[in-house]
Amino acid sequence: MDKLKFAVLPGDGIGPEVMAVALEVLARASEADGLTLEPVEADAGGIAIDRHGTALPEETLRICSESDAILFGSVGGPKWESLPPREQPERAALLPLRKHFSLFANLRPGLLYPELIDASPLKADRIPDGIDLVCIRELTGGLYFGQPKETRDLPGGDREAVDTMIYKKSEIELITDVAIATARSRKHRICSVDKANVLENSVLWRKTVTEYLAVHAPEIELTHMYVDNAAMQLARDPNQFDVILTENMFGDILSDEMAVICGSLGMLSSASLGTVENRHGHRFGLYEPAGGTAPDIAGKDLANPCAQVLSGAMMLRFSFGLEKLADRIEAAVRRTVVDGTRTGDIAFGGKSVGTREMGRAIANHL
Ligand code: IPM
Ligand code: MG
């Protein structure tokens, strides 16, 4: 394998700036290993609405289908917020992409380097060694996609809206399998998060996860937690978790909480994987930072590019099998952030060296 072909969808807001940094770092890292990147850029999100009248043009889907992975920036912004909800970039680009490629498994690592404990809103004595956990979120089921999903008029002038939460046992088993693989590469502990005291979905979720682990991974320690308690426990003692396994909506909420306790949304990368194999015999996937388009700082060279770079590293690991290269990039990000914090150059919520300069620093640390 010498050519790594992936679709690049920078999107809106800070997306293009942080994507430029990620591509630069990936190119520098892979050229040292004799690998050539073949990024193919396409429009998605608000920019695609502006240029093509639709958030996810056919051409973009085609480019993605012909690639081995998708490196995604972020989509959305105030400019498109007045559109009907179904046409807004998030719902009309990102969600259909996830569904189209059956990207049912979303992996979000929550990592706070011990050197950066002060960046976390948690008190240092709660996280003396930093934070290290991962959230495995089911991504193509539940409330996000269940039908019916609509707003309707009622006789008498009232209106109602319905979203449907629906999970099949087979879907729960698929995502549980991903959690098992992840737990086996870590501390062999899974905490499955649900709301089984209220939701039928969660009752099935808990039963399925329990039975599946008993058969397929009896060596893994499994616990269950209600989602409200999990939200509290994350803020109280995040390191009680190793792998969090949960459904789509709960995972959306908990992963943002996880990001903030890890110091910055600008550090949270993610991988969304399906079952399809790409030409390299690895999983086709979509890789995106979880921080959003940050329109307030877009175009100002202020965005933290780390999450985009780390998402690129995840792409190398999961879609191209380049574990060592991914490790090298992750280590470079770590050294950059840690060094910068020591010298006061890179601050979380304080003085910043700027997006591009941070990119150069990461590349120099490779
Ligand atoms: C995320 C985001 C998306 C989600 C939005 C942009 C649709 O919040 O990836 O967590 O809710 O899944
Ligand atoms: Mg979210």
Average pLDDT across the chain, whole number: 94
In this prediction the pTM is 0.94
pLDDT tens digit string along 199-226?
Answer: 999 999 999 999 999 999 999 999 999 9
Q: Which of 12, 132, 242, 252 is catalytic?
A: 252
Residue 351 has pLDDT above 70, yes or no: no
CA distance 24 to 309: 9
* 67 contacts 9 by C-beta, under 8 angstroms: no
Say yes or no: domain 1-104+265-366 is CATH 3.40.718.10. Answer: yes
- Dump pLDDT digits (tens) for 133-153: 999 999 999 999 999 999 999
Which position has the higher pLDDT, 300 or 198?
A: 198
Interatomic CA distance for residues 249 and 137, integer angstroms: 8
User: What CATH number has the domain spanning 121-261?
Assistant: 3.40.718.10
Q: Specify whether 144 is catalytic.
A: yes
pLDDT in tens, 97-118: 999 999 999 999 999 998 888 8
pLDDT digits (tens, 9 = 90+) for 10-26: 999 999 999 999 999 99
CA of 92 to the centre of ligand 2 (A): 15
Residues near ligand 1 (Cβ within 6 A)? 90, 94-95, 252, 290
Task: Report the nearest-CA residue for atom 4 of ligand 1.
Answer: 252
Domain chopping of the chain, boundaries: 1-104+265-366, 121-261
| 21 vs 342: which has the higher pLDDT | 21
The reply to whether 121-261 shares the fold of 1-104+265-366 is yes
- Which three-class secondary structure string do you get for 337-365? HHHHHHHCCCCCCCCCCCHHHHHHHHHHC
Which range among 27-41, 112-126, 158-172 has the greatest average pLDDT? 158-172
Q: Which of 50, 228, 237, 327 is catalytic?
A: 228
